[in-house]
Amino acid sequence: MATLKDIAEKVNVSISTVSRVLNFDQTLSVSDETRRRIFEITEELEYKKSTKSEKQIKSSPKKIEIGMIMTFAKSEELNDPYYLAMRLGIEGAAQEKSIQLIKGHKDDPNFNVRDLAGLLVVGPVCEDEVEQMSRLNANMVFIDSLPVDHRFDVVMVDLADAVEQSMNHLHSLGHTQIAFIGGKDELGVSSKVDRREVAYEAWMHKVGGYDSGLVQVGEFSAEDGYRLMNDLLASKASFTAVVAANDSMAIGAVRAIQERGLKVPEDISIVGFNDIKVAQFMTPSLTTIKLYSEFMGETALDLLLERIQGNRTIAKKVVIPTELIIRESCCKVTSTLRK
């Protein structure tokens, strides 16, 4: 496991700076480039390349140009390193296979997908965007998105099952009033309810405990995790546990709880999502759902090569499993519900 010292030495900054960046300390004056470098080094030190046979590597095509288009702003990698880990997984796999990877964002006017052998689309997309891209390139794989168009391959995780794992874990510890903080997927000029929020609501309805007052929705960032948690704490809602839609929000939520003089997990337990590398450095360390983002990227690249090399026309949907990582941020209910 990488240490704060390892990361600090690679980036040439202090251990304190690394710690504050990884904990999304908004008061720290440091450039976005330094923040990005710290997150990248953190991921790279933990990144393990998938085992590939010599035959697979040798049979991989040479000089193929493949595009990777991100449907989110570049700053989103700093708000949620989940996409950063996915990008690094794709870049590592492409390097192994001697593939030229062309990267860009959907609003980049200089990003020409027409001349590429295929396209990896990372992040949420709307129907109009899928149709627009499909006119320019027929070989596409979507990652972490569920386009209505069934012509294209999809790599995704079962978020409903992942939420159920986290909710069942909290319930096993005696928690019945569980809050949720999350965000929405922005699709062009519109947005849609996040699948984690949908799964949370379904689970709470199933056990007869749904309360709309326990749901707070903003952006998928540590800053909004902090803000939404403060809103919950200021409300009259009673709860002993919180499920956050990603680890960045969980980190912000923990800070808000601690600033109120409350303790995690003694007063409020919290579960995150994604298991970004930062989660292990938190105090307390974060219980979270591990999404194998690097493997998702590698799998998507394999599917795209299969399309290009084998002329496959039937689409595939690959569902990558998730895993509950139990750490220190959850415990059994030991007192009456917080009010």
> Cα–Cα distances in Å, from 104 out to 68, 71, 107, 111, 326?
6, 9, 8, 6, 36
Strand-strand pairing, 118-122 and 140-143: parallel
CATH code for position 2: 1.10.260.40
- Chain centre to alpha carbon of residue 2: 20
Clarify whether residues 98 and 184 are in a common domain. Answer: no
- 322 within 8 A of 113, measured Cβ to Cβ: no
Mean pLDDT, range 210-217, rounded to an integer: 96
For residue 81, cis peptide bond before it (omega within 30 degrees of 0): no
Mean pLDDT, range 20-26, rounded to an integer: 80
Spatial distance between the Cα atoms of 120 and 66, rounded to a whole number of angstroms: 8
- 46 within 8 A of 77, measured Cβ to Cβ: no
Q: Kindly tell me if the per-residue pLDDT of 336 is higher than 70.
A: no
User: What pLDDT does residue 54 have?
Assistant: 37
Please, how many CA atoms are within 13 Å of residue 135, restricted to the half-sphere of its CB?
A: 5
- 220 in a domain, yes or no? yes
DSSP state of 151: T
Number of domains within the chain: 3
Clarify whether residues 168 and 286 are in a common domain. Answer: yes
Clarify whether residues 181 and 227 are in a common domain. Answer: yes
- 330 in a domain, yes or no? no
Q: Kindly tell me if the per-residue pLDDT of 50 is higher than 50.
A: no
Q: Please tell me whether the overall predicted TM-score, pTM, comes out greater than 0.85 for this model.
A: no
The beta strand positions in 23-129, using DSSP E, are: 65-70, 100-105, 118-122
- 327 in a domain, yes or no? no
- 326 in a domain, yes or no? no
Give the residue from 238, 242, 271 showing the smallest Cα distance to 338. 238
Clarify whether residues 123 and 172 are in a common domain. Answer: no
Spatial distance between the Cα atoms of 287 and 168, rounded to a whole number of angstroms: 13
User: What pLDDT does residue 135 have?
Assistant: 86
Spatial distance between the Cα atoms of 47 and 191, rounded to a whole number of angstroms: 32
User: What pLDDT does residue 1 have?
Assistant: 62
Q: Kindly tell me if the per-residue pLDDT of 185 is higher than 80.
A: no
Q: Residue 182 forms beta bridges with which residues? A: 217
Clarify whether residues 171 and 267 are in a common domain. Answer: yes
Clarify whether residues 15 and 96 are in a common domain. Answer: no
Residue entry with tokens 């709880």: 257
* Core vs surface per residue 142-154: b (16+ CB within 10 A) or e: bbbbebeeeebbb
User: What pLDDT does residue 49 have?
Assistant: 39
Confidence band for 21, pLDDT divided at 50, 70 and 90: confident
Give pLDDT tens digits for 270-307: 999 999 888 888 889 999 999 998 899 999 999 999 99
CATH code for position 88: 3.40.50.2300
Clarify whether residues 94 and 197 are in a common domain. Answer: no
Tokens of 238: 């009673």
> Could you report how far apart the first and last alpha carbons of the chain are, in Å?
39
Spatial distance between the Cα atoms of 57 and 234, rounded to a whole number of angstroms: 56
- 335 in a domain, yes or no? no
Clarify whether residues 164 and 261 are in a common domain. Answer: yes
Clarify whether residues 188 and 108 are in a common domain. Answer: no
User: What pLDDT does residue 107 have?
Assistant: 66
User: What pLDDT does residue 189 have?
Assistant: 54
Clarify whether residues 5 and 84 are in a common domain. Answer: no
Owning domain of residue 76? 53-157+291-320
Mean pLDDT, range 255-276, rounded to an integer: 96
Tokens of 7: 């990361």
User: What pLDDT does residue 66 have?
Assistant: 94
Confidence band for 213, pLDDT divided at 50, 70 and 90: very high
Tokens of 218: 């903003």
Q: Kindly tell me if the per-residue pLDDT of 149 is higher than 90.
A: no
Q: Is 130 helix (H, G, I), strand (E, B) or coil?
A: helix
Spatial distance between the Cα atoms of 143 and 296, rounded to a whole number of angstroms: 7
Clarify whether residues 285 and 165 are in a common domain. Answer: yes
The amino acid at residue 172 is: S
Clarify whether residues 104 and 14 are in a common domain. Answer: no
Mean pLDDT, range 248-252, rounded to an integer: 94
What mean pLDDT is reported for the chain? 86
DSSP state of 170: H
User: What pLDDT does residue 48 have?
Assistant: 46
Among 129-138, 185-194, 235-244, 295-304, the range scoring the smallest mean pLDDT is 185-194
User: What pLDDT does residue 290 have?
Assistant: 95
The amino acid at residue 59 is: S
Give pLDDT tens digits for 52-106: 433 343 444 457 999 999 887 777 777 777 888 888 889 988 988 899 998 887 6
Mind giving me the DSSP string for 173-242? TT--SEEEEEEEEEETTEEEE-HHHHHHHHHHHHTT---GGGEEEE-SSHHHHHHHHHHHHHSS--BSEE
- 27 in a domain, yes or no? yes
- 284 in a domain, yes or no? yes
Give the residue from 287, 233, 235 showing the smallest Cα distance to 260. 233
- 238 in a domain, yes or no? yes
